[in-house]
Structure 1
């Protein structure tokens, strides 16, 4: 979902894209060198980022250049990072470092033998600066290959304070309270939620938050690895809970049909655009970037969030995504790659992008004052405070044919469920059939 989310964000703000025009498109971006220990070397980095994200990551690369003297070159791969990197390796032109957007892709790279384990110094910094769960997600067969530099907090529900005030409601503490508040909002004249059903990945995020809270982290991990079936009663229960929302036309802007015709940027517009249709939109911290850049909202005042609430007595979930830096064995600049990974593991590197905005770091040593506003600081603190209870986006851990492809697998089946949420057990059976095929493949 992480790469998919980036694609939508890159298209959302004409102003941001205009400012980042020199960093967009297929052309690599270079940063000048200095006269320090890596002077004369060029570090080649590839990743899915484009637009504002690529522009801000370039600031991190520039800081590395200033620190070490190494030149840097970033190439945007687009969302299909695995195919692009594979072709570059086959052509003898492998990047030195790749920013990998999904756990499943990192594991795929490791299984293909493309990756070099991280240095002892980087591993030590991960042990010191990160919650253990981030090391786990960066490791394959006990070896640490991935350093999580950028994270997303995907357990935030964004809302209009004006709409809440008009309805006489406050941010809810439980899922049940959230639906009750939604009814009050609906009675006041707005729909409760804008749901981006046209983008299937948003529906996987809805399911994952409900499932993590309701079933707990152990079951979540088992389902993410397909160690339990999607027909497990815990899955049917979570789908039933989600179906309560999806089946209530008063709660969803435009009803099921309207939701299925709304993409992610459109869902944000329905809450924070010039003609609001809903009071709330569930998605990650990146909602703030669209509300601010495209609709001029002041984050923390015109647009703010509450944590995705606990479901039926469970704990409030914290679902995350993230981008892991990995070193390719076939890269030509191993010394520079190793130094860059050691740099990325420091709070100093994270602070560069934190100050630019549109970024969260899982590095617990990063001073929260590095973030540009109170809302970002609050979001980052929530991610850090969650510690080992954070769980990585489940669909990003699955084979792409099940959890990451438009029109098939989990995306399509949850869109079908949104269209008709009357048979949770049937949807669970369809999900299991698709998952079994994908994991077997």
Structure 2
């Protein structure tokens, strides 16, 4: 899904973002209210156009569009409300097309059949590059670029570029450096929020001693395991090494990878630290890994679960309140600095038309992002989304930390890799780390397997 020429990597230090995030989340994390309403008021225009705030959209009566994304459940339903507002403002009809992962393969079959969607939401910079190389992707027009330039930092614009031409609108972002915990479990155990890796291990032991398994891991989906590794590696090895490994400029047999896997094994390899053990974790998908942490009262299957801000959707599904039942702390510092790893999904045009360009322009606007922000479980890199749009104080602080970090972040490493290595179920990094979860003692073997798969995928 990525390629070795993901050359527009943003973030130069990660330290500034880490400091902002740590400071923001160290404050009180009490929820301050429920969901906002999700409707956007239509503002009057004139002639054949309708203007809403800063975004101007054409009349598209009778036009039909398809948008494909690998989104399901509440995430899909909330995005459909954003599309519904676009329909209301333009008169177009937009159909959401559920895609399978990896989406590039799904799109390939659609293109081969002569029926590509008008826009695809691509979750990796490398997927954008691949779509461009295959001549599927179409450049953004002047209106969409104008909206991007007004609303996005240079770094978020750049990761949607290929050969310095703008193809992607990063509609959705993720802060992937968070650990959520069951507040009642921590209270009963007398556990406190850790700031370092050693403190995290100590906290885990405290939770374990109280009678609750410390961690829930969604190992059935390999991407969650790559996120664990990336946070440890970024903090421990530092930003420069992170960038080198992301581009395969150093090998996965490098000692820095050994160090990161050794740290990871302190959680995955500790008897009874993972809910269900390795076998149970490998049968647990991401949504279940979250919900099982926040169901069962003060005796859930686990006390903590690692993942990004988007876990809030699943926390709500577990009927837990963010900020009271479910609290969060930044991924602890394994090295000198706490990590800040981000991800995201970009809207890319596959069928160029006035309607597709208008939809891309809409998705680059604060109007669109604000609708989904109010619904929760969503984070926008759009700096002109009012922070108060997010439905609770926890998410407001996470969103503020992302925006305040500017360009000082690192994008998900596996999302920068070729699809065969970093983004395919049952293959490459996903499979190697699933095998490592099963046998965390085999560090050298895991490194060899990662390097062999990476060399084949990167072609070097």
- Specify the TM-score bucket, using the shorter chain as the normaliser: 0.7 to 0.9
CA RMSD of aligned residues (A): 2.3
Task: Check 1:297–1:364 CA distance in 2 against 1; reply closer, same or farther (3 A cut).
Answer: same
Is 2:119–2:347's contact at 8 Å kept on the other side of the alignment?
yes
Rounded to whole Å, the distance in 2 between the matches of 1:65 and 1:211 is 44
Match of 2:387 among 365, 368, 391: 368
Aligned to 1:410: 429
CA distance in structure 2 between the partners assigned to 1:260 and 1:49 by the alignment? 21
Q: CA deviation at 1:136?
A: 2.4
Mapped to 2, the partners of 1:202 and 1:105 lie a distance apart of 19
TM-aligned CA distance change 1:133 to 1:424, over 3 Å: farther
Distance in 2 between residues matched to 1:407 and 1:54, nearest whole Å = 25
Larger relative contact order (Cα-Cα within 8 Å, sequence gap ≥ 6): 2
Find the partner of 1:359 among 374, 378, 400. 378
**Cα distance in structure 1, aligned partners of 2:113 and 2:222:** 34
Pair 1:236–1:246, CA change in 2 (3 A): same
Matched, 1:426 2:436: no
CA distance in 2: counterparts of 1:335 and 1:390, whole angstroms = 34
Q: Structure 1 stretch 390-399 or stretch 36-45: which is displaced more?
A: 36-45
Q: Is the 8 A contact 1:190 1:279 kept in 2?
A: yes
State the TM-score, normalizing by the size of structure 1: 0.85
The reply to whether residue 381 of structure 1 matches residue 400 of structure 2 is yes
Kindly provide the CA deviation profile for residues 90-131 of structure 1, in whole angstroms up to 9, marking residues without a partner as x: 444333222112222211101111222212343243233223
Provide, for residues 129-154 of structure 1, a one-character-per-residue CA deviation record: whole Å limited to 9, x for no partner: 22322222211111111010012221
Deviations 1:194-249 (A, max 9, x none): 22233322211100111111122222222112122111222111111112222221
Aligned equivalent of 1:223: 245
**Partners of 2:220 and 2:89 in 1: CA distance:** 44
Structure 2 Cα separation of the partners of residues 127 and 217 of structure 1: 26
Tell me, yes or no, if structure 1 residue 305 matches structure 2 residue 324: no
Contact 1:253 1:278 in 2 (8 A): yes
Query: Number of residues paired by the alignment?
Result: 405
Provide structure 1 residue ranges, at least 5 long, that are not aligned to the other structure. 2-32
Structure with the higher fraction of residues in helix conformation: 1
Residues in 2 aligned to 1:417 and 1:87: alpha-carbon distance in whole angstroms: 32
Indicate whether 1:50 and 2:69 are aligned.
no
Structure 1 contact 133–390 (Cα < 8 Å) conserved = no
Check whether the contact 1:156–1:305 (CA below 8 A) recurs between aligned residues.
yes
Structure 2 vs 1, CA of residues 406 and 66 (structure 1 numbering), >3 Å: closer, same or farther? closer
Query: Does 2:314 match 1:290?
Result: yes
Structure 2 residue runs without a partner (length 5+): 2-47, 51-57
Label 1:270 to 1:343 Cα distance change in 2 as closer, same or farther (>3 A): closer
Cα shift readout 1:59-113 (whole Å, capped 9, x = no counterpart)? 2122222323333233222334323333333444333222112222211101111
In 2, the alpha carbon distance for the partners of 1:83 and 1:312 equals 38
Q: For the structure 1 residues 404 and 301, does the alpha-carbon distance in structure 2 shift closer, same or farther, using more than 3 Å as the test?
A: same
Quick check: 1:340 aligned with 2:359? yes
Q: 1:70 aligns with which of 92, 95, 103?
A: 92
Distance verdict in 2 for CA 1:77–1:248, change over 3 Å:
closer
Specify the alignment match of 2:10 in structure 1.
none
Q: Please list the CA deviations of residues 383-420 of structure 1 after superposition, one character each: whole Å capped at 9, or x if unmatched.
A: 22332232222222222222222332212221222222
- 1:118 and 1:338 in contact (8 A); partners too: yes
CA distance in 1, matches of 2:281, 2:72: 27
Q: Kindly indicate whether the alpha-carbon contact (under 8 Å) linking 1:34 and 1:70 is maintained by their aligned counterparts in 2.
A: no
**Counterpart-to-counterpart distance in 2, 1:254 and 1:91:** 43
Q: How does 1:151-300 map to 2 (within 5 A)?
A: 151-274=173-296, 275-293=299-317, 295-300=318-323
Which stretch of the first structure deviates more once superposed, 191-200 or 251-260?
Answer: 251-260
3-state SS of paired residue (2:398): helix
- Tell whether the 8 Å contact from 1:318 to 1:383 is kept in structure 2 after alignment: no
Query: CA separation of 1:440/1:50 partners in 2, compared to 1, >3 Å: closer, same or farther?
Result: same
Q: Which residue, out of 139, 144, 147, partners 1:125?
A: 147
CA distance in 1, matches of 2:254, 2:301: 36
Secondary structure of the residue aligned to 2:274 is coil
Displacement after TM superposition at 1:158 (Å): 0.6
